[in-house]
Structure 1
Amino acid sequence: MPLTRRKIDFLEALIELYDKNKAPVHYVDVANSMGISKWTAYDMLTELEELGYVQSEYYIDEDKSLGRSILVYTPKESAYDVVNKSSTHEWNTVKEMLLNVIKKNDNTISVDDFINEKKTALKPLKFCAYALTTLLLQIKTLDVATVESIKNSINITGSEAPVMLFIGIVIGFYIDYHLVSESRKVFDKVNIFHKYIKELSSNDKTLLNNFFKESLLYI
């Protein structure tokens, strides 16, 4: 039976904490990361263990008084498989949607709309793709010669370098054509973009660059 979105969210939270700390994760830490009660986290992780996706054990924390044991969880390989499959499906759906937005020149989409989504949806790769789409739509409003100049200035190689070069070029044009107050708003969004792009894995950087290359075909 396929896992519900809720269960996959728990696996994602557990894996993120496990990979970050390189150690089994206490259910309270999962609760804190998801903004839920510790008992809800405990119940869900117990259920996921019964389904064979996580493994629990008692750990003696030497820093704690009396050496009291705590219950910690480790994601199994099957958990990674589920999360990776879910992430791939989600990314392909988002990518196709954004490419259609660019093709149709639908400027109703904005980073503001995305930021206003629930916090759990604000994943680095998805945010960066939304931000790029917003700026790609922006340059489509410029004259043909300027657009071609921007495209020819971008060397599509490396990791995130072409994307960052594009961001810098577009911001320069944006400042030239808009009021200072509007440029300030753009800078705020670019600062967020920089924060999230640093959190991307090598695979996510490749996915973002491939999306960027493909999207340029419709500019």
Structure 2
Amino acid sequence: MNLTERRKEFLRHVVELYRKTRLPVHYPSLAKTLGVSKWTAYDVLRELERLGYLMRHYTLTPGGVGRSHVVFSPSRKALQIFDPKEASEEGEGYQEWRAVKEKVLSTLRQAASEERLQEVLDTVLGEFYQAKSPVARAAWSIALFLAYVRQLGHKGRTAIQRLMAHAPGGKTRLVLLAGAVLGMWAQEKDGFWEEKLADLLREHVPFLLRLTDEEASLLDPLWQESGL
């Protein structure tokens, strides 16, 4: 299988979309750009994946409940074709997000132990204030709320789980998480949480609303993958 002119044209558009958003490309978006059916776009992207020019990932569908969709990001091999300098300098941005995500999930797994909760909270807050990209900052903000949920009793955690499972996906679900935490926090008035959550909640919702749908779709699965 060779990189024909047709495949190269599809690949060029994937790279261009990726450069604009720094996020993986959903094949219906590419189909709209090229004026082809989404199935044609999907088939060509699968061919490019087999050739090593694309990497496949899965994200939850914005507005959906528990449904994932396939997205593609260019490999270093693809970037090398169109801009060798970019390939060496930028690398694969999605790998950076995966590293952030893995660190968030690893940190949250430690929050299962009450003895380590304070240590985990300190780590989450430190990472939040040091994060440079909008998605990384939002991920650590969400991690703080999830860490709070982990220290709730069975009744509180179950209520949050049900809310999240039935809420629309994307930004809506992330905003609802913040609101639910705010409601539970207001009943407890714990000194530590009163100080930390009040500050974060003031900026959390406006910050989430500024995220693109693609960015929100990357963040949405965190609540499930954290073992909430």
> How far is 1:84 from its partner?
7.3
**Equivalent-residue separation in structure 1 for 2:102 and 2:192 (angstroms):** 33
Can you list the C-alpha shifts for 1:120-175, whole angstroms capped at 9, x where unaligned?
x4221111110111111111111112110111122243321011111101111111
Q: 1:193 matched to which residue of 2?
A: 204
For structure 1, the 5+ residue unaligned runs are 1-13, 17-52, 54-75
2:125 matches 1:112: yes
Tell me: CA distance 1:115–1:93, structure 2 relative to 1, closer, same or farther (3 Å). closer
2:103 matches 1:97: yes
Bigger RCO (CA 8 Å, 6+ sep): 2
Tell me: CA distance 1:195–1:177, structure 2 relative to 1, closer, same or farther (3 Å). same
3-state DSSP of counterpart to 1:142? coil
2:224 matches 1:213: yes
Asked if the contact 1:125/1:196 (under 8 Å) is kept, the reply is no
Tell me: CA distance 1:79–1:202, structure 2 relative to 1, closer, same or farther (3 Å). farther
Give the superposed CA RMSD. 3.1
**Equivalent-residue separation in structure 2 for 1:186 and 1:194 (angstroms):** 12
Aligned length: 143
Q: 2:140 matched to which residue of 1?
A: 130
Can you list the C-alpha shifts for 1:178-205, whole angstroms capped at 9, x where unaligned?
2579535423212222233233222111
Tell me: CA distance 1:170–1:149, structure 2 relative to 1, closer, same or farther (3 Å). same
**Equivalent-residue separation in structure 2 for 1:90 and 1:157 (angstroms):** 27
Tell me: CA distance 1:151–1:81, structure 2 relative to 1, closer, same or farther (3 Å). farther
Q: 1:143 matched to which residue of 2?
A: 153
Choose which of 161, 182, 186 in structure 2 pairs with 1:171: 182
Higher Rg: 1
3-state DSSP of counterpart to 1:213? helix
2:93 matches 1:87: yes
Asked if the contact 2:170/2:216 (under 8 Å) is kept, the reply is yes
2:210 matches 1:204: no
Asked if the contact 2:170/2:217 (under 8 Å) is kept, the reply is yes
Asked if the contact 2:135/2:215 (under 8 Å) is kept, the reply is yes
**Equivalent-residue separation in structure 2 for 1:164 and 1:173 (angstroms):** 15
> How far is 1:212 from its partner?
2.7
**Equivalent-residue separation in structure 2 for 1:87 and 1:102 (angstroms):** 23
> How far is 1:89 from its partner?
0.9
Moved more, 86-95 or 149-158: 149-158
3-state DSSP of counterpart to 2:152? coil
Q: 1:162 matched to which residue of 2?
A: 173
Residue identity (%): 17
> What amino acid sits opposite 2:126 in the alignment?
D
**Equivalent-residue separation in structure 2 for 1:161 and 1:132 (angstroms):** 13
